[in-house]
């Protein structure tokens, strides 16, 4: 596909001359150099160099092998890339680092199950390790991946763990299933009324099936004991270490609570956060809860007030306008579909907050100068969100708050036009989109969205054509965390199973790899408010670097999802080195983080 971004420029004479001048000013040498590779800088010209130098945790120079060799001193660590490709560390603009990691260390992973029988078997194996009455938790199942193409129900789970209450979260996190024992603990019966902004799924007789959506899910989860602080810390560390292995150096973690912040803070204080994390706080659904959050945020390091090089920053707040495309609870104009071409008649989803209250809460945060990220999946929800941003910013202009539309799955043409205007006038209205939705939950999405809506999913090419910039993310643990999947999915738009065809979302909205990489680097950096620190490999920026086994700009699209990260630098420190990497490292003064840096 022809690039939609500027043609690559090989840095040579100009950069080499600059690096030579640096050599004269740097008699002690730099701390680390990368030589003999392809350095994709993702700068304004999309320049490609051969080598890079690091000093004091920051990029000191980028240029030719010759110019960078001139900066080597006796204490310099030299890494021979041997033709490998270096990129900026990848950035995820929407990943549940804390809760996703917590699920990874406390729940049974059901993401690989391909039948209800497999779900039951996995849970039954865990149940054997638990005392009677202890909660059994699972996560990651998706009916679109199951042979039966239906929800897992209470009667299925009863067979797995008859002596334990069971809750299994769907991969979207917007619904899940309880077994009969858990339903009884929560007092859910045929007589139970759906809670506000929630759905208790029922069979033909009116009896609960065990499937609980949105507010009903929240009700059920409230009966599960709170995790320990040790488990929260372990979950965050598990996510961050996965980021390190996948060449990812920053993420925005949305929807955190005080216990999450405390776990993050303790890890940051101990120097254990080997990636930058920007958080968004869950702020409830009322003006009272919003006012309380404004008071809380006043004492925390914000996106404009934190010290340079901070590993943990409180970036703003998260609101929910609607539900899920998987649960068919997102707020849309037209009836949801079933099985792609049938209709779920009368179901338009619903808002998770009273629309007028949402608009008032947006005004409150905007006037306080606080960044807002709003979850909006459906076209009607997206319209309401961007119009609310426009109203608030017009009444009280605030440049650079970068309010975002989280997910923004199927925006109308009007919403896209409003996004473009908000970005031009106020530096706000940015989609934070998840390309892997079309892959990992794509079969469920294709069934629920139907052909007309499916073609509008993640309209990245239209964004480019209309001057809209977006930030890429995974929504981990809704989809797997590695950003390489997002690079691939931005171009391929293929589903995992192909139940409704390999490309039910079409290819009209595909973009090329240059745009895809920008969405996971320099464009994502802006949404974390770290564009001066990260997102491109330029002098003075943090030396956050990923080294890959192949060049994303030249490999076939299908190979992008199989990229292997051989080395990750965060702030100039080696935080990951692949065990069997062929990179040659001559040790010097590089600051290494733990055993990941071992080897020569």
- Which one, of 28, 38, 32, lies nearest residue 8 by Cα? 38
- Which one, of 255, 174, 183, lies nearest residue 217 by Cα? 174
Alpha-carbon gap, residue 304 to 288, rounded angstroms: 25
Alpha-carbon gap, residue 22 to 55, rounded angstroms: 11
Q: How far is CA 118 from CA 123, 145, 148, 157, 535, in A?
A: 9, 11, 11, 11, 41
Residue 457 near residue 503, CB atoms below 8 Å: no
Class of the CATH domain delimited by 99-221: alpha beta
Class of the CATH domain delimited by 13-89+537-597: mainly beta
E strand or H helix that includes residue 19:
helix 13-24
Residues 449-458 pLDDT 10s: 999 999 999 9
- Which one, of 213, 166, 210, lies nearest residue 190 by Cα? 210
Can you give the pTM of this predicted structure? 0.93
pLDDT of residue 48: 98
pLDDT of residue 309: 81
Span(s) in the chain for CATH 3.10.310.70: 99-221
Residue 370 near residue 318, CB atoms below 8 Å: no
Span(s) in the chain for CATH 2.30.40.10: 13-89+537-597
| Phi, psi dihedral angles at 581 (to 5 degrees) | -65, 140
Residues 73-91 pLDDT 10s: 999 999 999 999 999 999 9
pLDDT of residue 398: 83
Where the chain has pLDDT below 50, the residues are 1-21, 23-26, 589-600
């Amino acid at each position: 596909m022809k690039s939609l971004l500027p043609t690559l420029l090989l840095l040579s004479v100009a950069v080499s001359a600059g690096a030579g001048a640096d050599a004269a000013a740097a008699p002690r040498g730099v701390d680390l150099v990368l030589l003999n590779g392809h350095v994709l800088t993702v700068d304004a010209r999309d320049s490609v160099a051969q080598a890079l130098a690091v000093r004091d945790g920051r990029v000191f120079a980028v240029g030719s092998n010759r110019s960078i060799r001139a900066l080597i001193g006796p204490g310099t660590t030299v890494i021979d890339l041997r033709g490998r490709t270096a990129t900026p560390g990848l950035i995820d603009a929407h990943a549940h680092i804390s809760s996703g990691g917590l699920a990874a260390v406390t729940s049974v992973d059901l993401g690989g199950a391909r039948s209800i029988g497999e779900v039951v078997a996995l849970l039954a194996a865990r149940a054997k390790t638990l005392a009677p009455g202890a909660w059994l938790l699972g996560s990651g199942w998706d009916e679109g991946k199951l042979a039966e193409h239906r929800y897992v129900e209470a009667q299925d789970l009863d067979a797995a763990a008859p002596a334990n209450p069971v809750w299994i979260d769907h991969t979207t996190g917007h619904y899940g299933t309880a077994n009969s024992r858990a339903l009884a603990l929560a007092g859910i019966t045929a007589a139970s009324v759906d809670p506000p902004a929630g759905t208790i799924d029922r069979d033909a007789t009116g009896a609960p099936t065990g499937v609980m959506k949105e507010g009903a899910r929240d009700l059920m989860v409230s009966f599960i004991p709170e995790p320990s602080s040790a488990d929260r810390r372990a979950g965050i560390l598990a996510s961050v270490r996965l980021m390190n292995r996948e060449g990812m150096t920053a993420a925005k973690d949305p929807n955190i609570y005080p216990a999450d912040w405390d776990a993050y803070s303790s890890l940051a204080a101990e120097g254990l956060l080997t990636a930058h994390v920007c958080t968004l706080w869950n702020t409830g659904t009322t003006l009272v809860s919003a006012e309380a959050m404004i008071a809380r945020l006043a004492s925390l390091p914000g996106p404009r007030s934190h010290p340079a090089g901070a590993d943990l920053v409180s970036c703003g707040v998260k609101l929910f306008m609607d539900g899920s495309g998987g649960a068919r609870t997102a707020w849309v104009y037209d009836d949801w579909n079933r099985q792609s071409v049938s209709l779920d008649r009368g179901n338009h989803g619903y808002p998770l907050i009273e629309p007028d209250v949402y608009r008032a809460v947006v005004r409150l945060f905007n006037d306080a100068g606080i960044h807002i990220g709003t979850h909006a999946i459906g076209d009607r929800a997206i319209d309401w969100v961007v119009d609310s941003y426009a109203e608030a910013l017009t009444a009280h202009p605030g440049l650079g708050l970068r309010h975002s539309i989280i997910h923004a799955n199927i925006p109308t043409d009007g919403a896209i036009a409003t996004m473009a205007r908000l970005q031009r006038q106020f530096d706000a209205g940015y989609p934070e989109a998840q390309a892997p939705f079309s892959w990992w939950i794509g079969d469920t999405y294709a069934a629920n969205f139907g052909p007309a809506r499916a073609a509008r999913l993640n309209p990245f090419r239209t964004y480019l054509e209309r001057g809209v910039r977006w930030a890429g993310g995974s929504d981990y643990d809704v989809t797997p965390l590695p950003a390489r999947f997002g690079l691939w999915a931005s171009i391929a738009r293929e589903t995992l199973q192909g139940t409704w065809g390999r490309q039910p979302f079409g290819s009209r909205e595909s973009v090329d790899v240059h745009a895809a990489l920008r969405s996971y680097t320099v464009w994502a950096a802006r949404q974390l408010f770290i564009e001066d620190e990260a997102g491109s490999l330029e002098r003075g920026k943090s030396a956050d670097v990923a080294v890959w086994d192949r060049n994303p700009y030249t490999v076939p699209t299908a190979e992008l999802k199989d990229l292997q990260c051989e080395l990750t630098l965060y702030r100039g420190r080696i935080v990951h080195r692949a065990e069997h990497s062929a990179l040659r490292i001559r040790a010097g003064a590089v600051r290494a983080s733990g055993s990941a840096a071992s080897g020569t």
